[in-house]
Structure 1
Amino acid sequence: MNTDTDTSATAGTRTGTSGTSGTSGTSGTRTGTSGTSGTRTGTSGTSGTSGTSGTRTGTSGTSGTSGTSATTAAGLPALPATPAARAALDLVLREETPAVAHHSIRSAVFARLLADHRGAEAGRDYDPELLFLACALHDIGLTVRGDGEQRFEVDGADAAAEFLTGQGFAAPQVDAVWQAIALHSSPGIAERSGTLCAFVRLGVGLDFGHGADFIPDATGAALHAAYPRLSMATSLVDAIVGQAQRRPGKAPRYSIAGELLRERSEPPHRTALEVQTEAARWGN
């Protein structure tokens, strides 16, 4: 999910004493393949941020760009047809609630539409398969499978890293997706952490109606006909607050989970996210 997005933000890079370009993965480490520690080490910060410099090995053996150039009859970008993309789609539809799953898939489509709108070229400026995977899995932390002890964004990033590792992705690609998911609710940080992080955050924000003026009405209607909204914002808040009530440590003060829990706990027991989404272009 995403609560505050500016689609004018550029996919900038961060430089400084760490000497890295476009990665914020230097503050901590993710250990092992399960990613349960909530920290990152190893190859993070070496792949760039678009995730295109790494290669994938393992059972799928694809380059991560197949199945992404086609469009549907309604003019929507076709979802990637790679084995990993299909497995991720199956996982999301099986594990997430319908409202959250539809939000995740729409976010991936919106991210591709934004990339096209900005003139970004798939395979050159970003890896379209990694973009789909990061968007599709960005709320996997709100499932039983992904519900750990960390903030839902970090739990989701860990669960996605475990999934991608099992699909045979190389460590730099896994780390790029981990970072994009972990930062997707961090305004002003994700947008400056490289192309993948920026497009994931902005694609998620577009599903809340932020900066969606460039999308034709017919395109939006076709996407929502395929993946109805189903009171998306309310379903997301229910899931986040439910986790926070069971494990208060998942909702530190000033985090999105902490703020949503606070708003739901006070009259009128309705969050600003729900109100703002209802008033935005797509509604709730």
Structure 2
Amino acid sequence: MAVSATIPDCVPTDNISRLAYAYASTALHPAILNHSLRVFLYAKALADREISLWSSAPDRIALLFAACIYHDIGTCCGASSPQRFEVEGADKAATDLRSMNVSEDDVHEVWVAIAVHTSPHIAERISPLARLVRVAVLIDFKQSGSTDVMQFNTEAEVDANERAFPRLDAAKVLGDIVVEQAIRVPEKGRMASWAGVMVRAKREDPGWEGVNKGF
């Protein structure tokens, strides 16, 4: 993977982060790429507030960035696979991290964080990294469901992040891609999954053109 010539200042300078960004920046829809960068900014800021290793140890920051930038990578890889988009994304991250000689324990840590990021109450408790990614996603989509969301962000931080990385209708773009995949490959949208909930919402109101009602 070649490193992109233009790299946002927020991307950590380590090799793992730079290579992960290089792939994501060419593979992801621009709205989802911006969302993933904002998720990293929120996750890192939350880790900073908590004086966590995920904000102070360079190797942990690299893994945090990888988990955030890859958390929706399943929208652009494995589209024809029967696996859920979250698992496809986790598998792609694991493959790329192994190619960078990341330890299996750390690969597994990132895999879990990505695979469960749409699973409320599980992601928040299964591991510290998974919690950071999950809470940051909730913050970026302005969703409730975690006390961290209510205590965390200020309007100034949100405004700064959204100026740097505009929203570009991220919720609609992400929901539409996940639903399209699941309709084309039904195994990707099993009933109890996030994709399955959105497919059901789409079928109940096929004429709806806004953000999927199951998002």
Question: TM bucket by the smaller chain?
Answer: 0.7 to 0.9
Query: Which consecutive aligned stretches of 4+ in structure 1 deviate over 6 angstroms post-superposition?
Result: none
Instruction: Say if 2:179 is the partner of 1:229.
Output: no
Q: Which runs of 5+ in 1 are unaligned?
A: 1-71, 73-77, 275-284
- Under a length normalisation based on structure 1, what TM-score does the superposition of the two structures give? 0.65
- Tell me: CA distance 1:249–1:273, structure 2 relative to 1, closer, same or farther (3 Å): closer
Partners of 1:140 and 1:146 within 8 A in 2: no
Out of 92, 95, 111, the residue aligned to residue 24 of structure 2 is 92
Match of 1:115 in 2: 47
Q: Percent identity?
A: 37
Match of 1:159 in 2: 92
Match of 1:186 in 2: 119
Match of 2:14 in 1: 82
Q: Which runs of 5+ in 2 are unaligned?
A: 1-8, 144-148
Out of 85, 103, 106, the residue aligned to residue 173 of structure 1 is 106
Deviating more after overlay: 253-262 vs 114-123: 114-123
Report how far residue 82 of structure 1 moved.
Answer: 0.9
User: Between Structure 1 and Structure 2, whose CA radius of gyration is higher?
Assistant: 1
Aligned partner letter, 2:191: R
SS at match of 1:81: coil
The structure where helix makes up a greater share of residues is 2
Report how far residue 273 of structure 1 moved.
Answer: 4.9
Out of 194, 198, 201, the residue aligned to residue 256 of structure 1 is 194
Cα distance in 1, alignment partners of residues 165 and 129 from structure 2: 23
Report how far residue 158 of structure 1 moved.
Answer: 0.6
Match of 1:14 in 2: none
Instruction: Say if 2:72 is the partner of 1:134.
Output: no
Where relative contact order (Cα < 8 A, 6+ residues apart) is larger, the structure is: 1
Out of 173, 176, 186, the residue aligned to residue 238 of structure 1 is 176
Partners of 1:233 and 1:273 within 8 A in 2: no
Aligned partner letter, 2:37: I
Aligned partner letter, 1:110: Y
| CA RMSD of superposed structures (Å) | 1.8
Cα distance in 2, alignment partners of residues 93 and 213 from structure 1: 31
Aligned partner letter, 1:199: L
Match of 1:272 in 2: 213
Q: How many residue pairs were aligned?
A: 196
Aligned partner letter, 1:135: C
